[in-house]
Structure 1
Amino acid sequence: MATATTHGARAHARAQQGARADAMPFVPASSWPTPPCEAGHLVWAETVAGGNYTHRVLARGTELRLTDLGGDACAHLLLFVADRPWERLNVADTVKVQWNAYLGEGRLLLSDQGRVLASVIADTSGRHDALCGTSALAWNTRRYGDGTPQSGSPAGRELFKLAAAKNGLAPRDLPPSLSFFQGVEVRDDGSVDFTGSAGPGASVTLRAEQDVTVLLANVPHPADPRDAYTSTPLEVLAWRGEATRSGDPLWEATPEGHRAFLNTTEFLAARGIA
């Protein structure tokens, strides 16, 4: 067997240099064939397979575009302040402070400190969810027969645990997540209808308003009624940009958003960042 010896294993590994799979990172990101930004500005370029995860630390002002390539991606998202992970995405505050449970262009992703972690600056999907969170081990085991990360039907929370560990975070650090590209609507009785996706090619673009650690799990939405574990590739592209500043329409869109941006700017200014 070619890999039965150290020399054989090394030769086999080196022979893979330059080979590419359909879902993997581009390193360097600048080698991505169709960058959506100025040359040299791309900092993250990756295709995440269905049932897989990724993570990255992004600088303030970075724009992050997620694209549902096949129409069945579901990007479950968590955000943490990069050097202060105890400040993290708070889905409840994101919903209640903005008086809206539905994500879309112009919405802000808030921490429990009343500060903006990211803003949604573009959206061609309109099918997102801030209510249901991601799937768990017990749910996927009951639904698909297994939910472990190495199985054919990994649960979102199990993948988040792996991504978290690679950023010095533990399972107790994982709050409820947001999901993009598979939506739900709330009925009058408080139950939810699964509305599915907007189809292949839909995208959403976020702007980091602080330095953030991004965790992404691409797994089926827990309300997806299909019997089969259905999850198609997610394209992830990020490039350097500028944070939202006073005078930007997003800053002034609502009194609540204005206050959140003021809280963020005051905090960053005290640290010599803004």
Structure 2
Amino acid sequence: MRPVTTIPVPVTTYLTPDGQLVSSVPVGASYADGSPLEWGDPLVPGAVVLDEQVAPRASWSGVVRAGQVLTIVDVGGNQSGDCLLYNAHHTDERYSAPDTLAWQDNAYIRTGTVLRSNLGRALMTVVGNEIDRQDTIGGACSRESNTLRYGHHVMYHHGCRENFLTEGAKHGLGMRDIVSNINWFMNVPVEEDGALGIVDGMSAPGKRVALRAEIDTLVLISNCPQMNNPCNDFNPTPLRMIVSEPDVDYEADA
């Protein structure tokens, strides 16, 4: 594991002589390439066994062992992290959005949500969440959908589907293994008429979500490269992935 360099971020707020409010609280992206922010600690106390940063527009994968907790940090703020989950030993068992939502009878993912597989089994549980809700119905962008929505001038932009295929290939996964995904930190409200929107995010720099693995779980992340709608504030920024061994058994507050 590479050593982690932190950047102190002191918070100061003051008025200038001409009455302008100046604050060091970050607005938008606030990071240095290769250096995670100091506030990116695990949500669940414990020994850190993995701490890696996912570059903007890039992909990441890793196996989170049963009982370990994965904390995902939105380093710059309003950065969507598209996510797929698989049984690490039998990848035909994978995350199922329909099973997850049907079991909890709710359209959103929140603290206490059990992320279930296509066999109805628990893969991971959300044991910490610093924003109001997480999305699992907005899907993943792709070259094809970008071209259809935004025009042929963006057809060269890769999307989350391409990231999933690239990262999944490292684990023997292909097109047939790409299913409905989770979108961490993405704001997809359900309107009164049932329509879905992709609107400005409700996350902020340093916001986190924590997932406890119930079985050994292969996690695929696409640090969303989308630049044509507000899901990433039109400015993709890094994510930070922290895997920890909890100090004690941690129960989610449902």
* Structure 1: distance between partners of 2:178 and 2:234: 23
Structure 2 counterpart of 1:177:
181
Show the counterpart of 2:122: 116
Distance 1:209 1:242 in 2: 16
Q: Deviations over 1:18-63 (max 9, x none)?
A: 9x982489xxxxxx9986454xx32221111221110001210110
Q: Give the letter aligned to residue 52 of structure 2.
A: E
Q: Give structure 2 stretches of 5+ with no counterpart.
A: 6-31
Is 1:232–2:237 an aligned residue pair?
Answer: yes
Aligned mates of 1:118, 1:187 — CA distance in 2 = 28
Residues 249 and 226 (structure 1), Cα distance of their counterparts in 2 relative to 1, 3 Å cut: closer
Identity, % of aligned positions: 31
Change beyond 3 A, Cα 1:146–1:205 = same
Match of 1:55, SS state, is strand
2:206 equivalent to 1:206: no
Superposition RMSD in Å: 3.2
Shift of 1:175: 0.6
Q: Give TM-score, length-normalised by structure 2.
A: 0.75
SS at structure 1 position matched to 2:84: strand
Query: Where do residues 84-233 of structure 1 align in structure 2 (5 Å cutoff)?
Result: 84-142=90-148, 143=150, 145-146=153-154, 153-193=157-197, 194-219=199-224, 224-225=229-230, 229-233=234-238
User: Which residue identity lines up with residue 215 of structure 1 in the other structure?
Assistant: L
Alignment size in residue pairs: 220
Which amino acid in structure 2 is aligned with residue 68 of structure 1? D
Label 1:226 to 1:116 Cα distance change in 2 as closer, same or farther (>3 A). Answer: closer
Q: What is residue 22 of structure 1 aligned with on the other side?
A: 33
Whose RCO is larger (CA < 8 A, sep 6+)?
2
Partner of 1:72: 78
Larger % of helix: which? 1
Structure 1 SS opposite 2:137: coil
Describe the shift of the 1:67–1:228 C-alpha distance in structure 2 as closer, same or farther (beyond 3 A).
Answer: closer
With the length of structure 1 as denominator, give the TM-score of the two structures.
0.70
Unpaired stretches in structure 1, ≥5 consecutive residues: 1-16, 26-31, 254-274
> Which residue of 2 is the match for residue 5 of structure 1?
none
CA distance in 2, matches of 1:88, 1:226: 25
